Protein backbone atom coordinates (compact mmCIF):
# COMPACT_ATOMS: atom_id res chain seq x y z
CA UNK A 1 0.00 0.00 0.00
CA UNK A 2 1.27 3.49 -0.81
CA UNK A 3 1.73 5.79 2.18
CA UNK A 4 -0.82 8.47 2.85
CA UNK A 5 1.72 11.23 2.28
CA UNK A 6 2.63 9.75 -1.09
CA UNK A 7 -0.99 9.35 -2.03
CA UNK A 8 -1.77 12.95 -1.13
CA UNK A 9 1.23 14.28 -2.97
CA UNK A 10 0.38 12.31 -6.10
CA UNK A 11 -3.23 13.34 -5.80
CA UNK A 12 -2.27 17.01 -5.87
CA UNK A 13 0.32 16.73 -8.61
CA UNK A 14 -1.94 14.65 -10.84
CA UNK A 15 -4.97 16.84 -10.28
CA UNK A 16 -4.73 18.83 -13.57
CA UNK A 17 -4.66 15.58 -15.57
CA UNK A 18 -7.32 13.84 -13.53
CA UNK A 19 -9.66 16.83 -13.55
CA UNK A 20 -9.48 16.74 -17.33
CA UNK A 21 -10.33 13.05 -17.19
CA UNK A 22 -13.14 13.73 -14.74
CA UNK A 23 -14.57 16.34 -17.10
CA UNK A 24 -14.56 13.87 -19.96
CA UNK A 25 -16.17 11.23 -17.75
CA UNK A 26 -18.83 13.75 -16.80
CA UNK A 27 -19.47 14.76 -20.41
CA UNK A 28 -19.58 11.16 -21.54
CA UNK A 29 -22.03 10.20 -18.78
CA UNK A 30 -24.26 13.22 -19.25
CA UNK A 31 -24.45 12.88 -23.03
CA UNK A 32 -25.12 9.15 -22.86
CA UNK A 33 -27.78 9.55 -20.16
CA UNK A 34 -29.58 12.31 -22.10
CA UNK A 35 -29.62 10.28 -25.30
CA UNK A 36 -30.44 7.20 -23.22
CA UNK A 37 -33.48 8.98 -21.75
CA UNK A 38 -34.85 9.64 -25.23
CA UNK A 39 -34.15 6.06 -26.31
CA UNK A 40 -35.64 4.78 -23.06
CA UNK A 41 -38.85 6.77 -23.41
CA UNK A 42 -39.20 5.66 -27.02
CA UNK A 43 -38.84 1.96 -26.17
CA UNK A 44 -41.08 2.33 -23.11
CA UNK A 45 -43.85 3.43 -25.47
CA UNK A 46 -43.10 0.50 -27.77
CA UNK A 47 -43.39 -1.84 -24.77
CA UNK A 48 -46.70 -0.27 -23.73
CA UNK A 49 -48.14 -0.27 -27.24
CA UNK A 50 -51.09 -2.50 -28.04
CA UNK A 51 -49.34 -3.51 -31.26
CA UNK A 52 -47.58 -6.84 -30.77
CA UNK A 53 -44.85 -6.18 -33.32
CA UNK A 54 -43.78 -3.05 -31.45
CA UNK A 55 -43.70 -4.95 -28.15
CA UNK A 56 -41.49 -7.54 -29.83
CA UNK A 57 -39.04 -4.92 -31.10
CA UNK A 58 -38.61 -3.40 -27.68
CA UNK A 59 -38.42 -6.82 -26.06
CA UNK A 60 -35.66 -7.81 -28.48
CA UNK A 61 -33.67 -4.65 -27.73
CA UNK A 62 -33.96 -5.01 -23.97
CA UNK A 63 -33.07 -8.70 -24.05
CA UNK A 64 -30.06 -7.98 -26.23
CA UNK A 65 -28.74 -5.25 -23.94
CA UNK A 66 -29.40 -7.12 -20.72
CA UNK A 67 -28.07 -10.38 -22.09
CA UNK A 68 -24.64 -9.19 -23.23
CA UNK A 69 -21.78 -7.53 -21.36
CA UNK A 70 -21.46 -3.78 -21.73
CA UNK A 71 -17.84 -4.06 -22.80
CA UNK A 72 -18.89 -6.28 -25.72
CA UNK A 73 -21.56 -3.77 -26.70
CA UNK A 74 -19.03 -0.95 -26.59
CA UNK A 75 -16.55 -2.82 -28.79
CA UNK A 76 -19.19 -3.95 -31.28
CA UNK A 77 -20.64 -0.47 -31.60
CA UNK A 78 -17.26 1.22 -31.70
CA UNK A 79 -15.70 -1.01 -34.34
CA UNK A 80 -19.03 -1.46 -36.09
CA UNK A 81 -19.71 2.26 -36.34
CA UNK A 82 -16.19 3.42 -37.15
CA UNK A 83 -16.13 0.79 -39.88
CA UNK A 84 -19.13 2.31 -41.61
CA UNK A 85 -18.88 6.02 -40.83
CA UNK A 86 -16.12 8.29 -39.68
CA UNK A 87 -17.06 9.11 -36.10
CA UNK A 88 -15.04 10.19 -33.11
CA UNK A 89 -14.30 7.87 -30.22
CA UNK A 90 -16.32 10.19 -28.00
CA UNK A 91 -19.41 9.84 -30.17
CA UNK A 92 -18.99 6.08 -30.45
CA UNK A 93 -18.58 5.72 -26.69
CA UNK A 94 -21.54 8.02 -26.03
CA UNK A 95 -23.79 6.09 -28.41
CA UNK A 96 -22.70 2.74 -27.00
CA UNK A 97 -23.38 3.85 -23.43
CA UNK A 98 -26.68 5.47 -24.48
CA UNK A 99 -27.72 2.28 -26.25
CA UNK A 100 -26.94 0.35 -23.08
CA UNK A 101 -28.57 2.74 -20.62
CA UNK A 102 -31.60 3.20 -22.86
CA UNK A 103 -32.70 -0.38 -22.21
CA UNK A 104 -32.63 0.02 -18.44
CA UNK A 105 -34.19 3.46 -18.61
CA UNK A 106 -37.00 2.13 -20.81
CA UNK A 107 -37.86 -0.46 -18.17
CA UNK A 108 -37.85 2.26 -15.49
CA UNK A 109 -40.15 4.45 -17.58
CA UNK A 110 -42.44 1.57 -18.47
CA UNK A 111 -42.90 0.65 -14.82
CA UNK A 112 -43.50 4.26 -13.80
CA UNK A 113 -46.03 4.88 -16.57
CA UNK A 114 -47.86 1.65 -15.73
CA UNK A 115 -48.04 2.65 -12.07
CA UNK A 116 -50.11 5.76 -12.83
CA UNK A 117 -53.73 5.24 -11.85
CA UNK A 118 -56.23 4.57 -14.64
CA UNK A 119 -58.37 7.35 -13.17
CA UNK A 120 -55.80 9.91 -14.34
CA UNK A 121 -56.29 8.87 -17.97
CA UNK A 122 -60.05 8.87 -17.50
CA UNK A 123 -60.09 12.33 -15.94
CA UNK A 124 -57.99 13.74 -18.78
CA UNK A 125 -60.18 12.00 -21.36
CA UNK A 126 -63.38 13.22 -19.73
CA UNK A 127 -62.06 16.79 -20.04
CA UNK A 128 -61.62 16.31 -23.78
CA UNK A 129 -57.83 16.06 -23.76
CA UNK A 130 -56.18 14.20 -26.64
CA UNK A 131 -53.89 11.21 -26.03
CA UNK A 132 -50.89 13.37 -26.71
CA UNK A 133 -52.01 16.03 -24.23
CA UNK A 134 -52.85 13.36 -21.68
CA UNK A 135 -49.35 11.87 -21.84
CA UNK A 136 -47.45 15.13 -22.13
CA UNK A 137 -49.31 17.03 -19.42
CA UNK A 138 -50.75 14.42 -17.05
CA UNK A 139 -49.12 10.99 -17.25
CA UNK A 140 -45.45 11.62 -18.04
CA UNK A 141 -44.85 14.37 -15.45
CA UNK A 142 -46.22 12.09 -12.74
CA UNK A 143 -44.39 9.04 -14.08
CA UNK A 144 -41.16 11.01 -14.15
CA UNK A 145 -41.55 12.07 -10.51
CA UNK A 146 -42.26 8.50 -9.53
CA UNK A 147 -39.27 7.23 -11.51
CA UNK A 148 -36.88 9.77 -10.06
CA UNK A 149 -35.20 7.55 -7.43
CA UNK A 150 -34.68 4.77 -9.98
CA UNK A 151 -33.48 7.26 -12.58
CA UNK A 152 -30.96 8.68 -10.10
CA UNK A 153 -29.72 5.19 -9.45
CA UNK A 154 -29.35 4.49 -13.17
CA UNK A 155 -27.43 7.76 -13.62
CA UNK A 156 -24.96 6.62 -10.97
CA UNK A 157 -24.53 3.29 -12.73
CA UNK A 158 -24.04 5.13 -16.03
CA UNK A 159 -21.35 7.32 -14.50
CA UNK A 160 -19.39 4.31 -13.26
CA UNK A 161 -20.00 2.31 -16.44
CA UNK A 162 -18.47 5.10 -18.50
CA UNK A 163 -15.08 3.86 -17.20
CA UNK A 164 -15.33 1.07 -19.78
CA UNK A 165 -14.86 3.71 -22.49
CA UNK A 166 -11.19 3.56 -21.48
CA UNK A 167 -10.99 0.39 -23.54
CA UNK A 168 -11.72 2.29 -26.74
CA UNK A 169 -8.98 4.74 -25.73
CA UNK A 170 -11.09 7.57 -24.38
CA UNK A 171 -8.96 9.68 -22.03
CA UNK A 172 -11.55 9.57 -19.29
CA UNK A 173 -10.85 9.03 -15.61
CA UNK A 174 -10.13 5.34 -15.59
CA UNK A 175 -7.87 5.51 -18.60
CA UNK A 176 -5.90 8.29 -16.87
CA UNK A 177 -5.43 6.05 -13.87
CA UNK A 178 -4.19 3.04 -15.81
CA UNK A 179 -1.84 5.03 -18.07
CA UNK A 180 -0.43 7.09 -15.22
CA UNK A 181 -0.07 3.98 -13.11
CA UNK A 182 1.78 2.18 -15.87
CA UNK A 183 4.03 5.15 -16.74
CA UNK A 184 5.03 5.66 -13.13
CA UNK A 185 5.13 1.99 -12.13
CA UNK A 186 2.68 2.92 -9.36
CA UNK A 187 -0.66 1.27 -10.20
CA UNK A 188 -2.14 1.20 -6.71
CA UNK A 189 -1.68 4.91 -5.99
CA UNK A 190 -3.46 5.94 -9.16
CA UNK A 191 -6.22 3.38 -8.73
CA UNK A 192 -6.95 4.67 -5.24
CA UNK A 193 -6.95 8.23 -6.53
CA UNK A 194 -9.35 7.41 -9.35
CA UNK A 195 -11.62 5.61 -6.89
CA UNK A 196 -11.79 8.81 -4.85
CA UNK A 197 -12.76 10.80 -7.95
CA UNK A 198 -15.58 8.39 -8.78
CA UNK A 199 -16.73 8.31 -5.18
CA UNK A 200 -16.93 12.08 -4.96
CA UNK A 201 -18.79 12.33 -8.27
CA UNK A 202 -21.27 9.63 -7.27
CA UNK A 203 -21.85 11.22 -3.86
CA UNK A 204 -22.46 14.60 -5.46
CA UNK A 205 -24.91 13.03 -7.87
CA UNK A 206 -26.86 11.18 -5.17
CA UNK A 207 -26.98 14.34 -3.14
CA UNK A 208 -28.40 16.21 -6.12
CA UNK A 209 -31.08 13.53 -6.70
CA UNK A 210 -32.00 13.69 -3.01
CA UNK A 211 -32.30 17.46 -3.12
CA UNK A 212 -34.63 17.32 -6.09
CA UNK A 213 -36.75 14.64 -4.41
CA UNK A 214 -37.05 16.57 -1.17
CA UNK A 215 -37.94 19.73 -3.04
CA UNK A 216 -40.65 17.95 -5.01
CA UNK A 217 -42.05 16.34 -1.86
CA UNK A 218 -42.18 19.68 -0.11
CA UNK A 219 -44.06 21.29 -2.96
CA UNK A 220 -46.66 18.54 -2.46
CA UNK A 221 -46.27 17.41 -6.03
CA UNK A 222 -45.73 13.75 -5.23
Partner 1 sequence: MAHFLEAKGITKNFGELQVLKGIDLSVNKGEVICLIGASGSGKSTFLRCLNFLEIATSGSIEVDGQAIDPKTSDLNQYRANLGMVFQHFNLFPHMSVLENIIEAPIRVKKVKKSQAIETAMVLLKKVDLEDKAHEHPARLSGGQKQRVAIARALAMRPSLMLFDEPTSALDPETVESVLKTMRVLASEGMTMIVVTHEIGFARAVADRVCFIHEGRIWEQGSASELLDNPKEERTKEFLKAVMV
Cα angle for residues 115, 30, 98 (degrees, 5° grid): 65
Distance (Å, whole) CA 89 – CA 85: 12
End-to-end alpha carbon distance in the chain = 48
Q: Closest distance between partner 1 and the C-beta of residue 187, in Å?
A: 50
* CA distances (Å), origin 106, targets 24, 50, 70, 162, 201: 25, 17, 17, 19, 24
DSSP single-letter state for residue 85 = S
Distance (Å, whole) CA 54 – CA 34: 23
Nearer to partner 1, 182 or 214 (CB): 214
Nearer to partner 1, 123 or 200 (CB): 123
Is residue 137 near partner 1 by the rule CB under 8 A? yes
Is residue 128 near partner 1 by the rule CB under 8 A? yes
Nearer to partner 1, 141 or 149 (CB): 141
Is residue 50 near partner 1 by the rule CB under 8 A? no
Distance (Å, whole) CA 39 – CA 97: 11
Contact region with partner 1 (CB under 8 A), list: 37-45, 74-82, 130-138, 182-190: 130-138
One of 4, 72, 84, 126 touching partner 1 (CB under 8 A): 126
Contact region with partner 1 (CB under 8 A), list: 13-21, 46-54, 136-144, 186-194: 136-144
Distance (Å, whole) CA 43 – CA 57: 8
Task: Tell me how many residues contact partner 1 (CB under 8 A).
Answer: 21
Helix H or strand E encompassing 76: helix 70-84
Nearer to partner 1, 171 or 213 (CB): 213
Nearer to partner 1, 133 or 184 (CB): 133
Is residue 221 near partner 1 by the rule CB under 8 A? yes
Contact region with partner 1 (CB under 8 A), list: 24-32, 33-41, 42-50, 213-221: 213-221
DSSP single-letter state for residue 130 = -
One of 80, 122, 188, 204 touching partner 1 (CB under 8 A): 122
DSSP string, 5-52: HHHHHHHHHHHHHHHHHHHHHHHHHHHHHHHHHHHHHHHHHHHH-S-H
Residues in region 145-204 near partner 1 by CB under 8 A: 145
Is residue 119 near partner 1 by the rule CB under 8 A? yes
Site residues for partner 1 per CB under 8 A: 117, 119-120, 122-123, 125-130, 133, 137-138, 141-142, 145, 219-222
Amino acid sequence: MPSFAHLFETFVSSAPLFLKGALLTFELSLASVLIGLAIGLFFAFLSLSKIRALNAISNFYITLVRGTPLIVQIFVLYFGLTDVVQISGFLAATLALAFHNGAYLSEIFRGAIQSIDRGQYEAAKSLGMTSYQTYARIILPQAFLRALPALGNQFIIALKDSSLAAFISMDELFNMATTQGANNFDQMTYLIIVAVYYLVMVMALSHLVNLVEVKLKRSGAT
